[in-house]
Structure 1
Amino acid sequence: MINGVKYFELVAEPVTREILPGVFIKGWGYNGSIPGPTIQVYPGDYVNIRVYNKLPEETSIHWHGLDIPVTMDGFPDVEPTPAIKPGYYFDYHFKIVNPPGTHMYHTHHFAVKQEMMGLGGGFIILDPKESKKDIQRDYFIMLQEFHVKGLKIGEVKPGVYEIDPMNHDFNFFTMNGRCFPYTTPLLVKECENVRIRLGNISEIAHPIHIHGHQFSITASDGNTIPTKNRMLKNTILVASGETWDIEFFTKNPGIWPFHCHIPHHMSNNMQKQTGGMFTTIIYK
């Protein structure tokens, strides 16, 4: 924080990401990670996000779902925001005028390639009035898929593999950059209010399903849904470009699956064992 401005730095760069133990993909990310770090701000904040480009081509960042000036929106093909040349940086600066909610950021230059290389992350506007009495656990999960080259169908072995961002035959599906059983479990305790924020910047829609519980859909694309209009479900379709907030009360102890319900997406390169876009909710 300098003179009332919150400063952030993002470095767009090649990233070698471990999606399974010993299995690495060579993608593009931010600050050494796929997805990039989750940015957290409050309504009314004035932010300056300096983006360095260490990629071999021009890039940009779009602040997905944020109401900001067109000069900062990050789509150089049609907007006045410049593309960032390799070796240069650009300062995106704007005031947070949206209410509390879940958003994302991602490249918007040569997106057909760069998004499928992994360039995206979460952008959360926190509610300053919310306390631990309201929500005891608050998780964010970014959904992504990749076509990893060099493996036969059903084969998963240690190594460092290239991504083909133009290939729609995806064989690895991730939650926060990892495949099950390498995904991070969601830890809870009994009698807690739990929020899970879901974001999807990739290509395929994913029906995300919870076991053993029903959840309430509390927000869509960063916009809170009035309490009387909320639906109670156990599966929600997260399309490309969407964010959804879901909340549930922990009253059924156990180890519960939380996963994409498309069968191929629950595997690692079509192996028989459970994998892919899958994690667990674990009562401690």
Structure 2
Amino acid sequence: MSFKLVLFAAGLTLAPFALGCADEALPSQPAGWDSAVTLREAVDKNPDPAIVEVDLSARPSDLEILPGTTTPAWTYDGGLPGPFIRAKLGDRVIVHFKNELPSPTTVHWHGIRVPANMDGTPGHSQPDTLPGESFTYDFVASDPGLYWYHPHVDSAVQVGNGLYGPLLVDDPGEGEKLGDELVLVLSDMAIAEDGSLEDPKTGGNFGTLFGREGNVLLVNGRVDPTIEARAGLRQRWRIVNAAKSRYYYLAIAGHEFTRIGGDGGWMEHPVETDKLLLTPGERADVLVEPRGAPGSTLSVRWVPYDRGYGTTFNRPEEEVFRIHLTNEPAAEAAPLPTIARSIEALDTAGAKPVKLTLTQSELNGEVVMGINGVPSWEANPLMAAVGETEVWTIDNTMEFDHPFHLHGFFFQPLDESGAPIRPIEWKDTLNVAVDGTSRFAVKYDNRPGMWMFHCHILDHADAGMMGMVQLQQ
């Protein structure tokens, strides 16, 4: 994987203080500006600066998510989301996990290129971690970017109950600060008026087909929080969609997002967009410059996204969180450096074709989903070899979009001609639209083992839209 970052500011020498001088204070955000969305940080108990070693437990916890009520959530370390694990590029990450739930579970490190036996795929990469048991995850943070962790046993239920958390891998060589940083874990939860969790099987077959969305939108475990900001000061949002089914389509009236990266770090170059789409499992690295009258409030809104039959019908926009602008006059943001990453397109000459069709059927009155007409529990693994390059073509025959996720490996999305989609980026989750086809190229590095792929609408995965790649030496 070719990785090179290029940062420069026109007319300036790139240096830590290139954008200011010693006798001129740079404008800053108000004190405590991000306190409403502050994440709990994991405690690193290893003094070695190149090792991040933490304890992590999955356990039931009663949380006040809606005012005046408590919800019996399933949590990592008693909070929602799980603790924020932060590492540097190249660090060794050790997580001593204990299962204090009443059910088996595992931890999957979504997007991280871990060894197969650290991937958290039950029955393939590791056995279930039973109630009262422990398992130690040990891997190297080999790629910069935002990742996340969640279970892979009864995934829709366990993630829906609150089991998810962020993991950020910083690149010390990234260069100049691009904006004041927020890590935002977006999700939702199905909570009744009395605070109890709604039945995870609500809606029956239609609920499975639709993908069950929660009725409460959450940002870092909070409902509609407000951050403080000074108008004109650029912010860098590192966002993960940890919802089990909901597509997050974000908009701020009169504003644009500058998307500089996604699943596998930075893209070739930034892209401007007035709305930002994150399917379940996807991440985005975006720059935002809040603007408005002093004292005014901006609304960051969830916009209905048409991901298939009925998914936008009679659904209003909803507020996700707010940005309150201080009474100070607008600041002038530092000039934005040119942001670029050199990514070499994978050579697909002679690549092995892999063709998959996403399908549904019915068995004994229950919806069954599958790949090539076969549910996961009946499927044989695809065979692949270390060093091999494959081109996957995924056809969707259903009336719903599917966010397709490949464990353990980044890939490059391709267009209809087989050329890389520009700007090139490394992905691990890719949307396959209704009656549509998505393509990507993947090259397997030397991590043999069994690797899962599935729809990241977790109700769909649990209903059979899942398979395995057996990677051999």
TM-score range, shorter chain: 0.7 to 0.9
Deviations 1:98-124, CA, capped at 9 Å, x for gaps: 1x2111111111213211111101111
Aligned counterparts of 1:280 and 1:170: Cα–Cα separation in 2: 20
* 1:146 corresponding residue in structure 2: 189
Q: Please show how residues 125-140 of structure 1 align to structure 2 within 5 Å.
A: 125-130=169-174, 134-140=177-183
Using the size of structure 1 for normalisation, the TM-score is: 0.83
Tell me the secondary structure at the aligned position of residue 226 of structure 1: strand
Tell me the secondary structure at the aligned position of residue 115 of structure 1: helix
Shift in Å at residue 25 of structure 1?
A: 1.7
Counterpart AA for 2:109: W
Aligned counterparts of 1:103 and 1:214: Cα–Cα separation in 2: 24
* 1:102 corresponding residue in structure 2: 146
1:213 is aligned to 2:258: no
Counterpart AA for 1:139: L
Deviations 1:196-236, CA, capped at 9 Å, x for gaps: 12211221212111233211011111321122xx2211211
Deviations 1:123-143, CA, capped at 9 Å, x for gaps: 111121357x52342112222
Aligned partner of 1:53 among 58, 82, 99: 99
> 1:179 touches 1:276 (CA, 8 Å); kept in 2?
no
Counterpart AA for 2:197: E
Aligned counterparts of 1:32 and 1:277: Cα–Cα separation in 2: 26
Aligned partner of 1:186 among 223, 227, 236: 227
Aligned counterparts of 2:53 and 2:182: Cα–Cα separation in 1: 23
Counterpart AA for 1:279: F
Aligned counterparts of 1:178 and 1:19: Cα–Cα separation in 2: 7
* 2:285 corresponding residue in structure 1: 245
1:124 is aligned to 2:168: yes
Tell me the secondary structure at the aligned position of residue 231 of structure 1: strand
Aligned counterparts of 2:186 and 2:112: Cα–Cα separation in 1: 20
* 1:268 corresponding residue in structure 2: none
Aligned counterparts of 1:175 and 1:277: Cα–Cα separation in 2: 11
Tell me the secondary structure at the aligned position of residue 237 of structure 2: strand
Q: RMSD across aligned C-alpha pairs, in angstroms?
A: 2.2
* 2:274 corresponding residue in structure 1: 234
> 1:38 touches 1:122 (CA, 8 Å); kept in 2?
yes
Aligned partner of 1:85 among 130, 133, 147: 130
> 1:61 touches 1:107 (CA, 8 Å); kept in 2?
yes
* 2:66 corresponding residue in structure 1: 20
Aligned counterparts of 1:164 and 1:108: Cα–Cα separation in 2: 19
Counterpart AA for 2:289: F
Runs of 4+ in 1 over 6 A off after TM superposition: none
* 2:201 corresponding residue in structure 1: 166
Q: Which has the larger radius of gyration?
A: 2
Cα distance, 1:34–1:275 mapped onto 2, change above 3 Å:
farther
Cα distance, 1:161–1:9 mapped onto 2, change above 3 Å:
same
Counterpart AA for 1:103: Y
Deviations 1:161-208, CA, capped at 9 Å, x for gaps: 23423333632222222222xx2x233223422111221122121211
Aligned counterparts of 2:213 and 2:323: Cα–Cα separation in 1: 29
Using the size of structure 2 for normalisation, the TM-score is: 0.51
> 2:82 touches 2:166 (CA, 8 Å); kept in 1?
yes
Shift in Å at residue 15 of structure 1?
A: 2.0
Counterpart AA for 2:185: M
Tell me the secondary structure at the aligned position of residue 158 of structure 2: helix
> 1:207 touches 1:235 (CA, 8 Å); kept in 2?
yes
Say which structure, 1 or 2, has more relative contact order (CA 8 Å, 6+ apart). Answer: 1
Q: How many residues are treated as equivalent by the alignment?
A: 258
Aligned counterparts of 2:92 and 2:302: Cα–Cα separation in 1: 36
Cα distance, 1:136–1:237 mapped onto 2, change above 3 Å:
closer
> Where does structure 2 lack aligned partners over 5 or more consecutive residues?
1-45, 203-211, 306-315, 327-473
